A = this chain, B = another copy of it.
Amino acid sequence: MDKNEFTLEQYRLHESRVIRDAIHGYITFEYLPIWQLIATAEVQRLRRIKQLGGTYMVFPSAEHSRFTHSLGVYETVRKMCALDEIDKHLNDYEKLTVMCAGLLHDIGHGPFSHTFEGAFHTNHEEMTRRMILEESEVHHVLKSVHEDLPLDVANVIAHKASKPMIVQMVSSQLDADRMDYLLRDSYFAGVTYGEFDRSRILRTLRIKDDRIVFKYSGVQAIEDYILARYHMYYQVYFHPTARSYEHVFQLIAKRLTVLYEQGYHFQTNIQYLLPFISGEKMSVAEYEALDENVIYYYIGEMQNEDDAILSDLCQRFINRHLFKYESINDASEIEEYRKKTIEKGLDPDYYVVDDEAIQVPYKHYGVGKHTGEIEILMEDGTISTLSDTSHIVNAILHSKPKIDRKVFFVRNSNWRKETDE
């Protein structure tokens, strides 16, 4: 069917449906395919993956899942589609495509998200595309609407679309994804850093040559948003206690891999982890089988493994007996920590971590890259960039990146003897 003649009206629900959400009030569903996507196993699975990985170990009320975030991204895209500016530049097929892409953009995440990817060399964007294109409930729903829809949705997630604005709505320096997560992560963590004036930003959104730009009168609201990102990174996302928790997870993964290669006999039946450890190509179904409940169950069980390192790391993980940390300046200091760790009778490869977090709050990419700079529509009709328009953003952009190098280590070979202060 010709996509230009595709009409959403045929899919309109008899009565719109709503889901209550702490951030958006009501999330509204007007069309059947979106409502069907919510009910798929792939989307429901996101209820079992936390949005912020180990962050809830330091901001305990940040226990929210990727499921609610995904609903929030969909809702933000839906509201964008209702803006006059967007409405007149997209046809119904494109609107459905971008709403689906918003809802589905995170389905490929594994447990502990980025930490997991680092540990097991997976890639959530690739898995998201596979889940959409290969055999899955999501795939069936999309295909039932239009043969091309799975591919078109997957392409948006891979930063390809008929018009740049479609990609930009879901994935750019100022997109529905970031707009939702800054507000949501702030709200649940209980901090004010992530707040910004979304309604004003959306009011100043304009389309120019099929690209999203913002009126000059929106620059200050966008500055505020850039700073919200910046502060959320330092205060929340990069908090050393969350990083400590994630390091313990990565060390567990590392130990698992080493033991597996050594032919160690696991008492725990870790069948759903094995494909990740072995590094073999896996099916979508195998990938989906792993969620945070399964991981927690495994780690809980592996507290009783014979391997002392694995058992100890798992006990630390479950009971939040995390590694301590100190700021350091260079690699030579790491050696000191390794020496002391050996003196305690511990293997420094598992008990000392050198970690450098570099934060770049607003980064512009080279020509041709998919997420270029935020563009500003000046009063005279020309286009400028945010960093040329805002001296605050420019200052951030050209400032030396803040380097936060830390060593993570243990104080005592027996965590039961460590105080938690």
Contact = CB atoms under 8 A, between A and B. Distances in A.
A22 B320 contact: no
Contact of A199 (B25, B38, B48, B419): B25
A48 B320 contact: no
A207 to B, nearest CB: 15
Contact of A20 (B44, B59, B320): B59
Contacts of A93: none
A60 B21 contact: yes
A193 B197 contact: yes
Contacts of A203: 18, 26
Contact of A227 (B13, B67, B227): B227
Contact of A44 (B63, B234, B320, B394): B320
Contacts of A39: 319-321, 420
A314 B321 CA distance: 34
A68 B60 contact: yes
Contacts of A318: 41, 44
Contacts of A269: 269
A224 interface: yes
Contacts of A300: 289, 293-294
A415 to B, nearest CB: 10
B41 A319 contact: yes
B235 A231 contact: no
A47 B60 contact: yes
B56 A61 contact: no
Interface residues of A, number: 73
A98 to B, nearest CB: 22
Nearest to A197: B192
Given A20-B191, A25-B199, A220 B231 contact: yes
Interface string A33-69: 0011011010010011000000010011101110110
Contacts of A400: 391
B189 A22 contact: yes
Given A39-B320, A41-B319, A199 B63 contact: no
A70 to B, nearest CB: 10
A120 interface: no
Interface string A386-419: 0000011011100110100000000000000001
Contacts of A230: 392
Contacts of A19: 60
A71 interface: yes
Contacts of A231: 220, 223-224
A39 to B, nearest CB: 4
Nearest to A72: B61
Going nearest first, the 4 A-B pairs with the smallest beta carbon separation are A395-B395, A22-B190, A297-B297, A293-B296
7 contacts: A20-B190, A35-B420, A39-B320, A220-B234, A224-B227, A392-B396, A395-B396
